[in-house]
C-alpha cells in the first residue's frame, strides 16, 4: 500500500473560511429555472411554484449564496421583462442559448425563492448589450426603499421592502468572443469602473465583482486582468475566475490532476491583483470570486443536436460519474487551501444544468458531485489550517501530481477538526498518517468516504443511490497519531472532535 503524510499545526492557519465559497449558480438556461427550481402546477411544487423537493436538497447542502440570472444569459437580459404582472411579461428570443425565454420567473420570484432556500443572492448586471444606465436602474429597483421611479415600480409590483442585495457581478465573461456585447479589456475596464461608481452612488454598501478571464486558456489571460484592474481597482472588491474541466479522452489520471491547473490559475490571479495593487500604491486588497467552476463535458455532443428557439430544453445536462465527484472534491480542497484570497466561489450550476441536483416531473435526486459539495459546505466552515501533504505522485499533463489531495479545517468553538482528502489512485488504497498530539482528547467522530469500483458509475432517478457515501471504519488514533486507510479512488471526510461525556 502507498503511504502519505499530512502535517498540520493549530497556529499555522491560512484563513477563516468565508461561507460564500460554497455558493452555487442558477442561470436562465435549460431546465435550471423552468422545471428545475420553478414548476408551477406540479404536485411537487408549493403555491408559488417552487419545487419543494429541490428546496429540500438545497437546504441539505446549506447553499449559502446563489449567483443569478447568468452566465451568458445576463449579457442580453432585460430584467424589466421579468417583473410585474406575469400575464404582461413578454416572451423573448434568447440568443445566448438559442431558446425562448418566457420571463415567467424573474428578479422578484428569485428573491422570494432565495428566502425559501435560506440562501443569499449574488446578482449580475448586463454589461453586454446594456451598461451603466441599466446598472443604475436595477440597483435602484432592488435597494432603494421608495420615492423614486424604480423603487416605486417595485412597490407597485407588490414588493414593499427593498431587497437590499449586497453582492453584484459587473457583467459576465466579458473577455469571451462568444459573449453578447463582448469587450476589449480597456472597454470593459472603463465600463465596469463607471457602472460600479454609479451603483455605489445609489447604494454605497454593496460589494462588486469585476470579470476576470473565462479560463486560464484564454489568449488574453493575464493582460485582461491587469488592464481591467488598472481601470476599476478602486471601485471593485473581487475579480472573477471561471473554469471547467472534462475527460473526453478518458484519461483519468490527467483528469484528476486538473485541480493543479485550478491551483495555478488562483496563484496567477492573486499575483496579478497584487501587482496592480503595488503599481497603484494601494492599501486595498482585491480578493477572488471563483464564480463558475465544475466538470463540464458530458453533454457537449447532445447539445449540438438541440432544436433552436424552444423553451427550457434539456441543455447542459451532464450526468456525473464517480470520477467527476473525485475531481469536484479536489477542486473544493483547492479552493479551501486558498481561503485567504478566495472569498466567493460558485459551483456552476445548481439544478439540472451541469448540476449536483437533477429533476424530472416526478422527483429530484443527488448526482455524484452533490456529495463532496454538500460535505464541504456542511463540515468545511471554520479555520483552514496550512496542510502540508507528503504523498507519492504520478506524472500528469500538469506535471507531478500527488495521489493525495488534502486540507484540514478546524472549528475552535465546536472543538472539531475535519480533514477532507482525495485518493486519486484508482487502483490502490492509500495509508495516510497525521500527527494530532496538539489535539489531545480528540476522537474520530466519523470517517465518510465516497468510493466505487466503477469510476464511471452514475446516479439516476431509477438508481439514485448507486454512488453514495458510506462509513469507513479503518481510521484510528493511536498515541496522538491518526492513521487512515483511504480506499482506491475515494473522497473522504474525516471528522474529529472532543467527545463530550455526560455531566461535563
Ligand atoms: O455555466 C454555463 C456557462 O459557462 C455560463 O453561462 C457562462 O458564463 C460560462 O461560459
Grid cell in block for residue 431: 495509508
- Which single residue is written with the C-alpha cell 507528503? 390
Crossing angle of helices 107-117/132-143, nearest 10°? 50
Q: Which residues of 480-493 are buried (b: 16+ CB within 10 A; e: fewer)?
A: eebebbbbbbbbbb
Q: What would the 3-class secondary structure string for 102-124 be?
A: CCCCCHHHHHHHHHHHCCEEEEE
Predicted pLDDT of residue 501: 66
Query: Quick check: bond before 32 cis, omega within 30?
Result: no
Predicted pLDDT of residue 502: 62
Q: What would the 3-class secondary structure string for 152-173 be?
A: HHHHHCCCCCCCCCCEEEECCC
> 94, 109, 173, 225: which one is catalytic?
173
Atom of ligand 1 nearest to the CA of 96: 6
Q: What would the 3-class secondary structure string for 262-322 be?
A: HHHHHHHHHHHHHHHHHHCCCCCCCEEEEEEEEECCCCHHHHHCCCCCECCCCCCCCCCEH
Across 174-272, the runs of DSSP E, i.e. the strands, are 207-210, 238-245
d(CA 51, CA 117) in angstroms, rounded, equals: 10
Q: Is 302 a catalytic residue?
A: no
d(CA 134, CA 96) in angstroms, rounded, equals: 19
CA-based nearest residue to 32, from 290, 364, 321, 465: 364
3-state secondary structure of 497: strand
- Specify the pTM: 0.97
Ligand 1 pocket check for 94: Cβ under 6 Å: no
Taking only the tens place, the pLDDT of each residue in 75-94 is 999 999 999 999 999 999 99
Q: Under a CB-based contact definition with an 8 Å cutoff, are residues 255 and 305 in contact?
A: no
3-state secondary structure of 175: coil
Q: How many CB atoms lie within 10 A of CB 305?
A: 6
In the reported structure, the alpha carbon of residue 156 is separated from the centroid of ligand 1 by a whole-number distance in angstroms of 33
Q: How many CB atoms lie within 10 A of CB 407?
A: 26
Predicted pLDDT of residue 220: 98
Ligand 1 pocket check for 72: Cβ under 6 Å: yes
CA-based nearest residue to 164, from 96, 230, 128, 115: 115
Ligand 1 pocket check for 215: Cβ under 6 Å: no
Q: What would the 3-class secondary structure string for 83-103 be?
A: CCCHHHCCCEEECCCCEEECC
- Which single residue is written with the C-alpha cell 503524510? 5
Q: C-alpha distances in angstroms, 57 versus 44, 52, 61, 216, 337?
A: 13, 9, 6, 32, 26
The dihedral through the CA atoms of 297, 302, 308, 314 has a sign that is negative
In the reported structure, the alpha carbon of residue 214 is separated from the centroid of ligand 1 by a whole-number distance in angstroms of 9
Taking CA atoms only, the protein residue closest to ligand 1 atom 6 is: 71
Taking only the tens place, the pLDDT of each residue in 388-404 is 999 999 999 999 999 99
Predicted pLDDT of residue 98: 97
Which residues in the chain show pLDDT less than 50? 504
Predicted pLDDT of residue 398: 97
Ligand 1 pocket check for 71: Cβ under 6 Å: yes
Predicted pLDDT of residue 232: 98
Predicted pLDDT of residue 450: 98
Q: Under a CB-based contact definition with an 8 Å cutoff, are residues 192 and 210 in contact?
A: yes
Q: How many CB atoms lie within 10 A of CB 442?
A: 19
Q: Is 60 a catalytic residue?
A: no
Amino acid at each position: 500500500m502507498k503511504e502519505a503524510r499530512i502535517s498540520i499545526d493549530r497556529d499555522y492557519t491560512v484563513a477563516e473560511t468565508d461561507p460564500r465559497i460554497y455558493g452555487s449558480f442558477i442561470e436562465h438556461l435549460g431546465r435550471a429555472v423552468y422545471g428545475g427550481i420553478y414548476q408551477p402546477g406540479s404536485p411537487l411544487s408549493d403555491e408559488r411554484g417552487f419545487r419543494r423537493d429541490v428546496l429540500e436538497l438545497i437546504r441539505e447542502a446549506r447553499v449559502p449564496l446563489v449567483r443569478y440570472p447568468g452566465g451568458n444569459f445576463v449579457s442580453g437580459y432585460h430584467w424589466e421583462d421579468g417583473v410585474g404582472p406575469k400575464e404582461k411579461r413578454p416572451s423573448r428570443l434568447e440568443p445566448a442559448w438559442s431558446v425562448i425565454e418566457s420571463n415567467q420567473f424573474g428578479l422578484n420570484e428569485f428573491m422570494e425563492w432565495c428566502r425559501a432556500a435560506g440562501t443569499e443572492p449574488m446578482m449580475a448586471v448586463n454589461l453586454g448589450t446594456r451598461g451603466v444606465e441599466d446598472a443604475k436602474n436595477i440597483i435602484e429597483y432592488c435597494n432603494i426603499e421608495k420615492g423614486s421611479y424604480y423603487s416605486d415600480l417595485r412597490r407597485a409590483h407588490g414588493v414593499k421592502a427593498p431587497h437590499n442585495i449586497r453582492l453584484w457581478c459587473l457583467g459576465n465573461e466579458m473577455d469571451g468572443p462568444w459573449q453578447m456585447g463582448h469587450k476589449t479589456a480597456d472597454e470593459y475596464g472603463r465600463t465596469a469602473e463607471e457602472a460600479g461608481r454609479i451603483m455605489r452612488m445609489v447604494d454605497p454598501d454593496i460589494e462588486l465583482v469585476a470579470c476576470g478571464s473565462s479560463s486560464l486558456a484564454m489568449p488574453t489571460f493575464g493582460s485582461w486582468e491587469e488592464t481591467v484592474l488598472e481601470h476599476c481597482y478602486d471601485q471593485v472588491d473581487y475579480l472573477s475566475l471561471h473554469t471547467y474541466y472534462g475527460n473526453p479522452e478518458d484519461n483519468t489520471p490527467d483528469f484528476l490532476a486538473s485541480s493543479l491547473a485550478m491551483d495555478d490559475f488562483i496563484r496567477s490571479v492573486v499575483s496579478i491583483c497584487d501587482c496592480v495593487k503595488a503599481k497603484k500604491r494601494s492599501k486595498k486588497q482585491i480578493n477572488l470570486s471563483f464564480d463558475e467552476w465544475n466538470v463540464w463535458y458530458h453533454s457537449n455532443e447532445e447539445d449540438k443536436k438541440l432544436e433552436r428557439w424552444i423553451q427550457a430544453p434539456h441543455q447542459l445536462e451532464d450526468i456525473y460519474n464517480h470520477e467527476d465527484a473525485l475531481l469536484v472534491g479536489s477542486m473544493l480542497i483547492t479552493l479551501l487551501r486558498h481561503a485567504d484570497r478566495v472569498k466567493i466561489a460558485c459551483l456552476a450550476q445548481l439544478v439540472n444544468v451541469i448540476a449536483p441536483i437533477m429533476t424530472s416531473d416526478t422527483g429530484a435526486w443527488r448526482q455524484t458531485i452533490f456529495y463532496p459539495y454538500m460535505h464541504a459546505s456542511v463540515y468545511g466552515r471554520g479555520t483552514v489550517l496550512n496542510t502540508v501533504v507528503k504523498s507519492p505522485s504520478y506524472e500528469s499533463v500538469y506535471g507531478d501530481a500527488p495521489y493525495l489531495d488534502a486540507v484540514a479545517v478546524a472549528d475552535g468553538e465546536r472543538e472539531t477538526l475535519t480533514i477532507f482528502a482525495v485518493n486519486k489512485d484508482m487502483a490502490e488504497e492509500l495509508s495516510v498518517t497525521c500527527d494530532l498530539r496538539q489535539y489531545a482528547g480528540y476522537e474520530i467522530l466519523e470517517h465518510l468516504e465516497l468510493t466505487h469500483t466503477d469510476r464511471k458509475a452514475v446516479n439516476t432517478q431509477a438508481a439514485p443511490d448507486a454512488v453514495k457515501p458510506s462509513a469507513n471504519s479503518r481510521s484510528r488514533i493511536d498515541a496522538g497519531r491518526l492513521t487512515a486507510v483511504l480506499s482506491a479512488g475515494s473522497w473522504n471526510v474525516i471528522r474529529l472532535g472532543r467527545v463530550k461525556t455526560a455531566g461535563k
